[in-house]
Amino acid sequence: MGRIVVEQHVTVDGFAAGPHGELDWVDSSVSEPGPMTKQALEELKHADAILLGARTYRMFLSYWPTPAAKNDPLAEPINTLPRHVVSHVMTEAPWGSYEPATVESGDVVNTAMKLRAKYENDIIVWGSLRLAGALMRAGQVSQLRLRVAPIVLGRGTHLWDADLVDQRLHLISATPLPTGQVTLIYNVH
C-alpha cells in the first residue's frame, strides 16, 4: 500500500505563499543542480505518482511540460510519473506532449484511499494547500516534508487551515542546505 507524502515549501514563520499568493521567496535552488535538487531526485526514486489540486496543476502545467523546463533535472520524473488532479470542475488534464493527468472528481479521502491501494510507493502532493489540509484532517498523510526557506514574511497564506486538529509528528531527519534552507521530514503516523 502506498503512502501519501505532502511536500511543501514554507517560510520560517509558516507561510506557504505571500499575501497575494506569491512564491518569489522560494529560491532557485529548487530546480538548479545542487543539494536540494539531488535530495528531491532521490526522493522521487521512491514515488509512484503525483497528486495535485487544480490550481497547483495549472501552475505546474505552465512550466514542467514546456520547453522552459527542458534542462531542469526534475522535469523528467515529474513529466513521466502518473499524475492525478483533484477537481470537481475539470474533465481533462492535458500535460503537453506527455500522458495527460487523470482527473479525480470524487471525494478527496476516497481518492487518496484508492491511490494508496493502487500504488506501492509514495504518492507526492506538492502545493495544493486545500487538498493537503483535507488529507491531513482525514489521517491520510503518512509523511510530511517541509522545505523551510530562510525568510520571514510576517503575513501570507498559512500552510494549514485553522481547523486542522493537533497531530503528533515524528522527526525523521533535518537536513540543512548550503542555501540556508532546511528540509524537515516527519512521519505523521
Is-above-0.85 flag for pTM?
yes
**Interior CA angle at 119 toward 187 and 10, to 5°?**
40
Q: Given the C-alpha cell 481518492, which residue does it identify? A: 111
CATH code at position 95: 3.40.430.10
Helices (H), 82-183: 108-118, 129-137
Which pLDDT score is estimated for 66? 95
The tally of domains found in the chain comes to: 1
Closest C-alpha to 121, from 77, 176, 164, 72? 77
Pairwise CA distance, residues 141 & 139, whole Å: 6
Which range marks the domain in which residue 167 is found?
3-187
Q: What is the DSSP letter of 67?
A: G
- In tens digits, what is the pLDDT along the chain, a chain of 189 residues? 999 999 999 999 999 988 888 888 776 545 555 677 888 888 899 999 999 999 999 999 999 999 998 888 899 999 999 999 999 999 999 999 999 999 999 899 999 999 999 999 999 999 899 999 999 999 999 999 999 999 999 999 898 876 777 888 999 999 988 888 899 999 997
* 168: DSSP letter: -
